[in-house]
Amino acid sequence: MTTPLLAVEDLVVEYPVHGGKFRAVDGVGFTVERGGSLAIVGESGCGKSTIARSLVRLLRPTEGRILLDGTDIATLPERRLRPLRRRVQMVFQDPYGSLDPHLTAEETVAEPLRLAGVTSKAERARRAAELIDQVGLPSSALHRRPGEFSGGQRQRIGIARALASDPELLVCDEATSALDVSVQAQVLRLLRDLQAERQLAYIVISHNLGVVREISSEVMVMRGGRVVESGLTETVLAGPAEPYTRALRRAALDPTTMRGRKPRALVSAIVSASDPEATSATAPEPATPS
């Protein structure tokens, strides 16, 4: 048996609250193969972003293992973690808050290259220009700052920055949910193309079944810090047992109407799946901003 790119085992994350502890993630496990994908869905506050932050070690899990290519990064000290950090990158939910407003697009994308040890400034500029082109932005974007871009363009810069360190796994935490629907579809297509081109693996966190269907063949449904359902996306969505999945599914169009349609039809399906009216029955307000 080959080692999966990522194997998460019995992950537990507790946050300190009022002198006690709150268990936000409670014994979660899953694997992602090289070039594979996994969508994580679940109601607000169920622990999705906490998992994402653990995977890139923005936080240190309380228990469990996060095996990246067989190496447990869950408890690795920073010194030993550093060479592994470039391999797992995150694209954040908020394309407004996650970019440094003082850096140009070129500087934003070149920075991880510098940290990765590309010492030549000319080489960094060349690679940044290549990445900006790859995410579908014109070269005129290179010298502009985040404030001069639209949300979708900013999101593309975030993706270019994440790709700069040539990661093997990209963790997208609601990476498209703040975007206009047509831009959302474009960014999703971009991610899918990059997956094919680079053998990149993805974890996509989303509330939106249209997004999940578009981007991932496997899905994991969470509730209250635990996995309540997982498997092939089509299978889970075809016969969901979990009320949250049922509610999400009711909110989306029938899957048979999605197949073989032109992008416009897909876009309207994504709009329909993200209709807040349709999911509000089971999804409470966000507990904390993530």
- The minimum distance between CB 255 and ligand ATP, in angstroms, equals 23
The structure tokens 């092939």 sit at 232
Which region, judged by CB under 6 A, interacts with ligand ATP, from 42-50, 60-68, 73-81, 101-109? 42-50
The verdict on 122 binding ligand ATP (CB under 6 A) reads no
Which region, judged by CB under 6 A, interacts with ligand ATP, from 17-25, 81-89, 108-116, 262-270? 17-25
The verdict on 288 binding ligand ATP (CB under 6 A) reads yes
The verdict on 47 binding ligand ATP (CB under 6 A) reads yes
Ramachandran sector of residue 220 (left: φ over 0; alpha: ψ -120 to 50; beta: rest) = beta
Q: Are 99 and 154 in contact (CB under 8 A)?
A: yes
Pick the binder of ligand ATP from 3, 14, 15, 247 (CB under 6 A).
Answer: 15
The pair phi, psi for residue 129, each rounded to 5°, is -65, -40
Q: Could you give the 3-state DSSP secondary structure of residue 21?
A: strand
Amino acid symbol at 122: A
Q: Measured from the CB atom, is 22 or 193 closer to ligand ATP?
A: 22
Cα separation of 256 and 258, whole Å? 5
Pick the binder of ligand ATP from 97, 147, 239, 286 (CB under 6 A).
Answer: 286
Largest CA distance in the chain: 55
Count, residues in the chain: 290
Amino acid symbol at 28: V
Q: Measured from the CB atom, is 54 or 153 closer to ligand ATP?
A: 54
Q: Measured from the CB atom, is 113 or 209 closer to ligand ATP?
A: 209
The verdict on 46 binding ligand ATP (CB under 6 A) reads yes
Cα distances from 17 to residues 20, 101, 290, in angstroms, run 5, 32, 17
Can you say how many angstroms the Cα of residue 63 is from the centroid of all Cα atoms in its chain? 22
The verdict on 290 binding Mg ion (CB under 5 A) reads yes
Site for Mg ion in 16-75 (CB under 5 A): 49
The verdict on 49 binding ligand ATP (CB under 6 A) reads yes
Pick the binder of ligand ATP from 1, 17, 122, 196 (CB under 6 A).
Answer: 17
Choose among Mg ion, ligand ATP, none what residue 22 binds, the Cβ cut-off being 5 to 8 Å by kind: ligand ATP
Pick the binder of ligand ATP from 37, 50, 230, 233 (CB under 6 A).
Answer: 50
Pairing state of beta strands 37-42 and 218-223? parallel
Among the listed residues 54, 161, 173, the one whose alpha carbon sits nearest the alpha carbon of residue 100: 161
Q: How many CB atoms lie within 10 A of CB 272?
A: 15
The verdict on 196 binding ligand ATP (CB under 6 A) reads no
- Binding residues for ligand ATP, rule: CB under 6 A, are 15, 17, 22, 24, 42, 44-50, 286-288, 290
